[in-house]
Amino acid sequence: MGINFLLLLVLGLASAEECPVEFTEIHGHCYLFSQQLGENKQSQEQARLFCQMLSQDDYTVDLATLGHFAAAEADPLLAHIYENDLADGGLWLGAERSGESFMWVDGRHLSEKSHLFYYLEPNGNDCIAVRPDLTNNDMHRNYINDAICTHAYNFVCETF
């Protein structure tokens, strides 16, 4: 009886660390890409509401964040977006202007001098997206830019 309980406990712990159905695990975080669900492109506000509606008792969901790593090349989500052409047509991320600066939805500050931004960005808009045409003469990654929040883009959700 002790072995069965231990096995159930271990299996329960393993499943608690897994991503929800339809979410993709990338470097220890769980993400859901709207185009993989066949969702229509949405404004940043609509995309954020869609993500938040997926929250459950044991986790919350919001638009995804970047910048947990020292260099953009090391950011696993940005690399996954690039490698899978998920930024085609634009892809909303979870940061928006707050006063004179940007804030990620998880409360972290996004510096306007961040290495994540494309050359000459930000340029006065209020929401953050990834676009495939912003390569900065570097064909091995995407960059972020500030965008008009009402544009319709695909989006990526993250569990927190």
> In this structure, what CATH number is given to the domain that contains residue 109?
3.10.100.10
14 falls within a domain: no
Q: Consecutive sets of 10 residues in the chain, 160 residues long: mean pLDDT of each?
A: 33 57 95 96 98 96 86 78 91 94 95 88 96 62 92 97
Quote the pTM value. Answer: 0.84
- Helices assigned H by DSSP within 84-150: none
69 falls within a domain: yes
Q: Report pLDDT for 132.
A: 77
3 falls within a domain: no
22 falls within a domain: no
Q: Report pLDDT for 67.
A: 81
Considering its fold, how many domains does the chain have in total? 1
> Torsion angle of alpha carbons 48, 51, 53, 54, nearest 10°?
-170
Q: Report pLDDT for 29.
A: 94
d(CA 52, CA 15): 22
122 falls within a domain: yes
Q: For residue 64, what are the domain limits?
A: 44-159
